[in-house]
Structure 1
Amino acid sequence: MYRSVVRSESRALHAISPRQARHSMAHPCLTCGACCAYFRVSFHWSEADPALGGRVPIELTDALRTHERVMRGTSQSQPRCIALDADIGRYSRCSIHDRRPSSCAAVPASLEFGERSAQCDKSRLAHGLHALTDADWVGVDDAQRNPLPAV
């Protein structure tokens, strides 16, 4: 498992120049995964309906309410998203990152865009990790930061 994450990080670093890569650090989410193992991930059912442009794999979801689906594994007392490949606090990757629900994309890492994220801080603390600080972002290239979702 760990090797696949390292390869993913390597691919991300190849997107920037070799000079930048020498001075870059990995995005803090790549060594976390706490939010994916703390919150229920619910979203509008259309996000899992390909006929309506939905991209979330429906086989990784369960029905929640009339108009909502939930990522499998996140509605239990100790949530852990089925799409999470991680050892919390060591390495982390979302196996459907490019197809994840909008509710996931809407949760930025703390200080990624200059402001604290209550969801990030709460989930990290629940897993025994420190809340991110400005120091955690030193050396993280702008190209590695997740874009804010369109509103």
Structure 2
Amino acid sequence: MSTNTCLSCGACCAAFRVSFDVSELESEGGCVPDGLADRENATLARLRGTDYARPRCVALIGEIGREVRCGIYRERPGPCREFAPLAEIGHFADACNRARARHGLPPLPVDRD
């Protein structure tokens, strides 16, 4: 069984702004807890903490590069669901490695068959 690198990384959760459609908020029929998001405008919301010069999602629990988990994994918004682990999807690999570099973590190998 392979180890999920994301469970010891978390760099993406502390590197990018996470904006999503307001329909994903609980108050609008979605799953994302309203208390963990701010509305940007009538159609967009963002996860709290991801909007700073040194972003860190408020739902991220643990120490980046050691052991992390998402406190709202089952309720996370679409952009978080789409940012799959490197092993699963190649086009996010560069973004993943940029996030890792921001936190002093080495890049992960990318299989680009």
Unaligned runs of 5+ in 1: 1-23, 135-151
Q: Offset at 1:63?
A: 1.0
CA-atom RMSD, angstroms?
A: 1.8
Deviation at 1:114, TM superposition (A): 5.6
2:9 is the alignment partner of 1:32: yes
- Asked whether the equivalents of residues 9 and 66 of structure 2 are also in contact (C-alpha less than 8 Å), the reply is yes
Matched-pair identity in %: 39
Paired residues of 2:22 and 2:28 also in contact (CA < 8 A): no
Larger radius of gyration: 1
CA contact (8 A) 1:83 1:94 kept: yes
What is the count of residue pairs matched by the alignment? 110
> Runs of 4+ in structure 1 displaced over 4 angstroms?
none
Query: Shift of the alpha carbon at 1:25?
Result: 4.1
Q: Counterparts of 1:114 and 1:45 in 2: how far apart (Å)?
A: 26
**Distance in 1 between the 2:42 and 2:89 partners?**
37
Match of 1:113 in 2: 88
Alignment partner of 1:43 out of 2, 11, 20:
20
TM-score by length of 1: 0.67
More helix, by proportion: 1
Deviation at residue 50 of structure 1 after TM alignment = 4.4
Shift in CA distance, 114/79, structure 1 to aligned 2, threshold 3 Å: closer
Contact persistence 1:45–1:67 (CA under 8 A) = yes
Partner of 2:67: 91
